[in-house]
Amino acid sequence: MMAVAVLADGLAKRFGAVEALRGLSFAARKGELVVLAGPNGAGKTTAVKIMTTNLKPDGGRAEVLGFDVVREYREVRKRIYYVPQDYGVYWDLTPSEYVVSVLMCRGFSHREARRRAREWLDALGLSQADRPLRQLSGGQVRRAIVAAALASEAEVLFLDEPTSGIDVEARREVWRALRERVRSGACIILTTHDMGEAEATADKVVIVKEGRALYEGSPRDLVSKVPFAYRAVVRKPAPPALDHAVDLGDRLIVYFRSRSEFDGFVGGLEDPSQLLAAGSVGLEDAFILLLGGGAA
């Protein structure tokens, strides 16, 4: 079993009257991608700032690769790479120049920095982007930032919503690159609101709410906690006496414990066009139900 790379143990943080973290605990191992998921204000970014030595906790402790983030912050900083949501770039540089400059600042030779830049920019579909960053789309800039992180050889990467603003096709290139780094032994801590992203990339998901970890486990483990197997999205007015449904205004997500229950519901619709989508329950459903937006 891989060694623990990141440990959060009872982390607490207060901003005035607001308790951002209330005893948050979880662990991440080398060769593991862990997604921190939760609603806005849950404490995800605060936790990441503590683990990257940018914020001191008011209680509890955090370690990265065995080093305490407060007492041994210099050792932690040597071994991590942090991409916050509002990460800044040198706008007049091309993606290649940007990645090379970042790597040389971290001690790589110019030759090695250029090699690594080519490798990871190509992996993220930016090998032909030779214009200054200010002339590229927001999604392309975000990919260049991720490329620099992946090329850094940091043992632990903290990525705060790294695919924000990236289109669907490019997002999958990012996912593939992230999994490649994990396969080589890196630990990645990633925050996201996209449950599809979490389901596709994560080895472990930590659902955070009100500063605490509600659930910690693989995507499959979390989905298994939901007492339903199938779902259907239907347009209102829906049939009466629905046992398990989430109201979306003009439509409902209806949940079913078995295939026979699902088939009976779909077969009983007077107007087949009411059925908008159907399938198996996934991580997004688990997220909605476990956070209390649950089926009525």
Q: What is the DSSP letter of 135?
A: G
Number of domains in the chain: 2
Instruction: Let me know if residue 286 belongs to a domain.
Output: no
Q: DSSP letters along 253-277, please?
A: EEEESSHHHHHHHHHT-SSGGGEEE
Q: Output the pLDDT for position 296.
A: 42
Between CA 126 and CA 95 the distance in angstroms is 8
Q: Output the pLDDT for position 249.
A: 87
Q: Output the pLDDT for position 32.
A: 97
Instruction: Let me know if residue 155 belongs to a domain.
Output: yes
Q: What is the DSSP letter of 47?
A: H
* Distance, C-alpha 2 to centroid of its chain: 21
Query: Could you tell me if 160 and 275 lie in one domain?
Result: no
Q: Output the pLDDT for position 243.
A: 75
Query: Could you tell me if 260 and 153 lie in one domain?
Result: no
Instruction: Let me know if residue 285 belongs to a domain.
Output: no
Query: Could you tell me if 77 and 172 lie in one domain?
Result: yes
Q: What is the CATH number of the domain that holds 116?
A: 3.40.50.300
Q: Output the pLDDT for position 228.
A: 93
How many beta carbons lie within 10 A of that of residue 193, not counting itself? 14
Q: Output the pLDDT for position 241.
A: 63
Query: Could you tell me if 186 and 265 lie in one domain?
Result: no
In sequence order, the 6+-apart residues with CB closer than 8 A to the CB of 244 are: 228, 254, 255, 256, 295, 296
Q: Which regions of the chain are under pLDDT 70? A: 1-2, 240-241, 292-296
Query: Could you tell me if 173 and 139 lie in one domain?
Result: yes
Q: Output the pLDDT for position 129.
A: 85
Query: Could you tell me if 186 and 149 lie in one domain?
Result: yes
Query: Could you tell me if 151 and 121 lie in one domain?
Result: yes
**pLDDT per residue over 224-266, tens digit each?**
988 899 999 999 887 766 778 888 889 999 999 999 999 998 8
Instruction: Let me know if residue 13 belongs to a domain.
Output: yes
Query: Could you tell me if 233 and 200 lie in one domain?
Result: no
- Residue 138 amino acid letter: G
Range(s) of the domain holding residue 239: 227-280
**pLDDT per residue over 111-141, tens digit each?**
999 999 999 999 998 988 889 999 999 889 9
**Residue 250 vs residues 85, 237, 271: alpha-carbon distances, Å:** 34, 8, 16
Q: What is the pTM of this model?
A: 0.89
Q: Do the strands 204-209 and 33-37 form a parallel or antiparallel pair, or are they unpaired?
A: parallel
